[in-house]
Amino acid sequence: MRKKITIIGAGNVGASTAQLIAKEGLADVVLYDIAEGIPQGKALDIAEACPLWGSAVSVKGTNSYSDIKDSDVVVITAGFPRKPNMSRDDLLHANADVVKAAAGAIAKLSPNAIIIVVTNPMDAMAQLAWKTTEFSCRRVMGMGGVLDAARFRTFLAWELNVSPEDIEAMLLGGHGDQMVPLPRFTTVKGIPVTELMKKKRIDALIQRTRSGGAEIVGLLKSGSAYYAPAAATFQMIRSILHDEKRLLPCAAYLNGEYGVKDLYVGVPVILGKEGVEKVVEIKLAKEEKAMFKESCVSVRKLIKKLAI
Ligand code: APR
């Protein structure tokens, strides 16, 4: 039997993720949204593309939570996107209500699902989803690091005039502004970028990566990025459903790892059929440790505001 993936929120990120899943024939897809007609219309459109992609999966749009029953993976993208001059944190309370409702429905209807949270501020929303569902922390995670790494890889590829595919980037910490880059673990086919570029240029690209989301918000004027966020989410889903055990930076629950307790924050993890199968601990340099600590303080502040 084919696997079932539910996407909660049929907006830009949700629909783009559904498109990638359907095109790849990865699983049947349910698109849920509160807005009437939107998930149905987008699902129908994607279903009508399936013959052209040679894909036989089912794609269904719905406004009823009962349709998410027995999903293997649920992606939460529902909420409100950032507007220009709005930080991810401004979204905190509005999106917390949406994520709480979604997590409650998942716990009831898909008690064995693995959840990927995309809604911002993502690290805090992942913690909220985990608390609400009371699932094992292995089965709840957030998407952020894969996207930040992809942005960094893009800018490095442009700068070095090499294929982005040959660039591997690892990073830690909260998504976006709070990310902690690890240039010494960022390589072009194994060669650390620190050997290929001056520190000043690396720092400039790190800064562009940190504000990568805001750069797109500024250009779009309304709405935020969605092609790369959907591609990043898709990579995580595939690693889970195909049990690929990819090593990817994701927001995961830390229970002592990296000296942090009871907090969701970005770290390298192994993603497989059980979800977060392992948090990979690497020895951080002094400066990296300090940045990671700062990042954790920012995420914890949001958790305090949410009182969870
Ligand atoms: N239940 C279900 N869906 C909801 C709810 C709700 N309570 N509230 C809002 N939505 C839906 C909206 O109707 C909309 O279709 O969530 C969708 C969000 O889509 P977009 O506005 O297009 O936002 P998108 O760009 O997809 O971003 C979604 O991902 O990257 C993050 O910051 C981004 O938090 C945002 C999320």
Give the pTM: 0.97
For a mutational test of ligand 1's pocket, the pick from 77, 91, 125, i.e. the residue with the most ligand atoms closer than 8 A to its C-beta, is: 77
Rounded to whole angstroms, how far apart are CA atoms 147 and 230?
9
Cα of 183 from ligand 1 centre, angstroms: 33
Rounded to whole angstroms, how far apart are CA atoms 29 and 271?
21
Q: Is 293 in the same domain as 151?
A: yes
Q: Is 159 in the same domain as 217?
A: yes
The CATH number given to whatever domain includes residue 277 is 3.90.110.10
Task: Estimate the crossing angle of helix 12-24 against helix 38-53, to 10 degrees.
Answer: 30
Among 139, 151, 153, 175, the active-site one is 175
Rounded to whole angstroms, how far apart are CA atoms 141 and 274?
12
Per-residue tens of pLDDT for the chain, all 308 residues = 899 999 999 999 999 999 999 999 999 999 999 999 999 999 999 999 999 999 999 999 999 999 999 999 999 999 987 677 777 667 899 999 999 999 999 999 999 999 999 999 999 999 999 999 999 999 999 999 999 999 999 999 999 999 999 999 999 998 878 899 999 999 999 999 999 999 999 999 999 999 999 999 999 988 899 999 999 999 999 999 999 999 999 999 999 999 999 999 999 999 999 999 999 999 999 999 999 999 999 999 999 999 98
Rounded to whole angstroms, how far apart are CA atoms 209 and 182?
12
> Structural domain of residue 40, as residue ranges?
4-142
Q: Write down which residue in 87, 120, 142 finishes a domain.
A: 142
Task: Provide the 3-class DSSP secondary structure of residue 284.
Answer: coil
Amino acid at 4: K
Q: Is 32 in the same domain as 159?
A: no
Q: Is 150 in the same domain as 291?
A: yes
Ligand 1, CB cutoff 6 Å, lining residues: 8-14, 33-35, 38, 77-79, 81-82, 95, 98, 101, 118-120, 223-224, 226, 229
**Which of the 8 DSSP states describes residue 201?**
H
Q: Is 68 in the same domain as 98?
A: yes
Q: Is 156 in the same domain as 278?
A: yes
The CATH number given to whatever domain includes residue 112 is 3.40.50.720
* Number of structural domains the chain divides into: 2
Q: Is 253 in the same domain as 273?
A: yes
Q: Is 223 in the same domain as 292?
A: yes
Q: Is 19 in the same domain as 128?
A: yes
Q: Write down which residue in 142, 167, 192 finishes a domain.
A: 142
Q: What is the 3-state secondary structure (H, E, C) of 49-102?
A: HHHHHCCCCCEEEECCHHHHCCCCEEEECCCCCCCCCCCHHHHHHHHHHHHHHH
